Structure 1
């Protein structure tokens, strides 16, 4: 496959499947094959070319003055290769006066261990050809990098800045064993569009006490490629505050083979609410699970996820003291259970035991009420706020309901007295599990308005009433104003859900 050079918005982007193909993008006369710049290799640099294919490494072996380097690289605009400046005595990156783009490989851009370097302002005009790119800028003892940390185009990249005369403070933090000592006093970490807080290459033996003071994160959190068993070192973390757009509100926990728990016991707030938060959990320990407190918090914001490889932990204790129970039989369930793990099925055999559910706040599973003979309403769910599932039980698939009312003889009122949050399914496309209402003896909705209003109250993405959506039901003939208002509400909700699904899918 031939590499391609793409022009977009005055920037050049290089696309290649193999680094070995980089040279194919340039004529032979514009290729540089020596990599490290020395007084000997510089003779091979194609000084007349604006685009050069090859790596450009300035190192301790670079025995040229800054004026010589600036003269040599005076025409270079597009470096189709990687760039490193390490262990040099240069004072300024203006030795590359016209550089606009460079190829970013897995190592990223590296500017490190340059004791005389004080000026990197020109980096504000550099753009990586592969994004996002990790910008490693560290251990440059005279460098003030703060202006770079605040530059809009730079903070779209993934910053790894530490050990300089001045760094980014508690912004755009990438934590690994080398950078940890520089972030001991952060109570709040903020950042740009890509970085914020990323943790990798650490284990339970690593001293992570620097993070024990952290109370809030504004932006993305990523924990990956670690040997950690949990994240309990975030013992005071209370808030993860995402940005306005979903792309910048991502918590990603992946590729941690020993991780079995989150351990975010102090976390109480996720922002933004209403499906603006994205959580990805994948490729951790096979026994990885989230606590009822964590899952309850996630579902309250109606989070988006493409991967959520987790179960609900079997730990029945919560910091707030609320009681957690595993459901085996409704008749043997403790009457004061506030959180129930398991699928709740109410039928003709156990409908007389529904009083045991009066204290239930959340069900971690599905809810089915079917084939009951005497139930008339849901008044026994006095405190139920939400139903959410992490399992594919009951034949769940991408369009399976989380709440079902099937073939009940006397049931005529489906109102949950205190339902505050939408039912939730990790396996539903919209993540708001739809509600199925079928084959009940009583007429539960007289017309479309009733169905729409119920759907709005329940915050459900969809109601299926005897196989039909609310909009497919007959409208009320005597209340056009109510009809228009209800329909407007449901159409707006449907449009928003559809738009968000498209954004998340993109």
Structure 2
């Protein structure tokens, strides 16, 4: 019976990928096409052995190499290795140590830097006597998040590498079958293999939860606090993901959707009660939530986490949960009107509208840090937005309206939002600024600066920032087409700053 159970686990626990593959010849050719990799300080042998050791440029402190140790390296004396690499400070390329009897890497006594410009695979595999790779724990990586594969080293403790600062910005790990790995290896998880993940606190590598029908079994994941790599949850009957209630950190990959939840028709809640950090090393953290129950909702705290970091959404089919109490005790108010709003709100649930006659109530927004809904300021005599100095985020769910609308405020010339980051709406424009004081953005440069400051695209007087000219003035020209489309053309009295653009526009419209 025990053998049958072990066989079942072996069959069902299949990593989504097994190993990172590479072509050493192609890697070498590409490296030596890189600027700065000349023959004087390059090592272009396919492996490091007694036959090739004399090709190593011993007087160079920086060497270009795909430095690969194999079983052919086993008969090189340690002192010979140490003297060969004594001047090496920086490796331009990557290190591969496979099928050796090495016990440690201490012969790399002075190396401090790896510049893996082509992001080749670092591989340390099948070394039965290897016990110490601490040189990698302190090395600086110029180029981050290249694939790291460490497997089948039965005497090696890899855990310090996974939690250390030098590989903090990596998520492309395949680390298995060592004496101690980073955590549990991502795989396709379902009812058949879920108990193999009991007591896991970290999961590394792509993970998929699919075709699962018994949510109670997934309490085996209740100790997970960190997920490194993308995770997909699909085709389940789960009502929520509360088995991840202790999860604190998710670290994603730049090339794919990092949190993909779809085709779960019974799901009404997320349940990420402890999530504090979403991190993508080189790009946006991408989220997709779709094809869930129509009543699916996010709590304020969950949306706060999503909007605190640079998150992008494929789809976000959700509304806000009808909850106004927070674990941190900060006061949340439901918005009805500016006149009825309390003076000490920290969070606001609902669409905030500031319009004519509300100017003397704007001080009520001075303590507000987040609005779970939209912010509309229209037809006022306001000159600036100083009263919103503490506002960190505005996020609209289940609506395509702009997150922030500043419209028809003729005296409004300063729209600085000093604390604002990543306002969100599922609609096309997160921030819309129109019909206010002239020359809020005199040129594209200032408009782009504002976009970068708030972390969202801006539609200014019905045009994108690239079309902002010196007077910031736009008219719409009837193109005779659908009412949904119009051609935006700047007036021809453009300033010197945009003379080239004007000339181009004039030419196009001849």
Normalising TM by the smaller chain, what interval? Answer: 0.5 to 0.7
- Per-residue CA deviations over 1:286-308 (Å, capped at 9, x if unaligned) read 10011111112112333222222
TM-score, reference length from structure 2: 0.55
Q: Where in structure 2 are the equivalents of 1:265-304 lying within 5 Å?
A: 265-272=273-280, 276-304=284-312
Select the residue among 239, 263, 286 that pairs with 1:255.
263
Give 1:113 shift: 5.7
Separation in structure 1 between the aligned mates of residue 353 and residue 222 of structure 2, nearest angstrom = 43
TM-score, reference length from structure 1: 0.55
8 Å contact from structure 1 (residues 189, 197) kept in 2: no
SS of equivalent to 2:270: coil
Q: Where in structure 2 are the equivalents of 1:178-257 lying within 5 Å?
A: 178-191=192-205, 195-204=206-215, 206-243=216-253, 245-247=254-256, 249-257=257-265
Q: Where in structure 2 are the equivalents of 1:401-440 lying within 5 Å?
A: 401-419=402-420, 421-428=421-428, 433-440=429-436
8 Å contact from structure 2 (residues 344, 367) kept in 1: yes
8 Å contact from structure 2 (residues 337, 353) kept in 1: no
User: In the alignment, what sits opposite 2:121?
Assistant: none
Separation in structure 2 between the aligned mates of residue 320 and residue 447 of structure 1, nearest angstrom = 43
User: In the alignment, what sits opposite 1:4?
Assistant: none
Distance 1:445 1:207, change over 3 A: closer
8 Å contact from structure 1 (residues 448, 475) kept in 2: no
Give 1:200 shift: 4.0
Q: Where in structure 2 are the equivalents of 1:448-459 lying within 5 Å?
A: 448-459=444-455
Distance 1:189 1:329, change over 3 A: same
Structure 1 residue ranges, 4+ long, deviating more than 4 angstroms after superposition: 111-116, 123-126, 166-169, 446-449
8 Å contact from structure 2 (residues 410, 435) kept in 1: no
8 Å contact from structure 1 (residues 434, 462) kept in 2: yes
Separation in structure 1 between the aligned mates of residue 19 and residue 362 of structure 2, nearest angstrom = 65
The number of equivalent residue pairs is 320
Separation in structure 2 between the aligned mates of residue 274 and residue 414 of structure 1, nearest angstrom = 30
Give 1:178 shift: 2.0
Distance 1:274 1:405, change over 3 A: farther
Distance 1:441 1:271, change over 3 A: closer
8 Å contact from structure 2 (residues 267, 296) kept in 1: yes
| 2:313 is aligned with 1:305 | yes
8 Å contact from structure 1 (residues 406, 438) kept in 2: yes
Distance 1:434 1:305, change over 3 A: closer
Separation in structure 2 between the aligned mates of residue 115 and residue 463 of structure 1, nearest angstrom = 55
SS of equivalent to 1:181: helix
CA RMSD, 1 decimal? 4.1
| 2:344 is aligned with 1:336 | yes
Unaligned runs of 5+ in 1: 1-86, 89-110, 117-122, 127-145, 153-158, 477-485, 488-506
SS of equivalent to 1:222: strand
Give 1:279 shift: 1.2
User: In the alignment, what sits opposite 1:356?
Assistant: 364
- Per-residue CA deviations over 1:214-272 (Å, capped at 9, x if unaligned) read 110001222223232221222221001112x231x521122223221111010000111
User: In the alignment, what sits opposite 1:472?
Assistant: 468
8 Å contact from structure 2 (residues 186, 204) kept in 1: yes
Give 1:341 shift: 2.4
Separation in structure 2 between the aligned mates of residue 469 and residue 167 of structure 1, nearest angstrom = 49
Give 1:273 shift: 6.6
Distance 1:284 1:467, change over 3 A: closer
8 Å contact from structure 1 (residues 439, 466) kept in 2: no
SS of equivalent to 2:312: coil
Distance 1:264 1:474, change over 3 A: same
Give 1:446 shift: 4.2
Unaligned runs of 5+ in 2: 12-17, 22-124, 127-147, 151-173, 473-496, 499-510
Separation in structure 2 between the aligned mates of residue 437 and residue 169 of structure 1, nearest angstrom = 48
Separation in structure 2 between the aligned mates of residue 464 and residue 326 of structure 1, nearest angstrom = 30
8 Å contact from structure 1 (residues 290, 313) kept in 2: yes
- Per-residue CA deviations over 1:340-385 (Å, capped at 9, x if unaligned) read 2222221103222212211211122222211112x22111113101
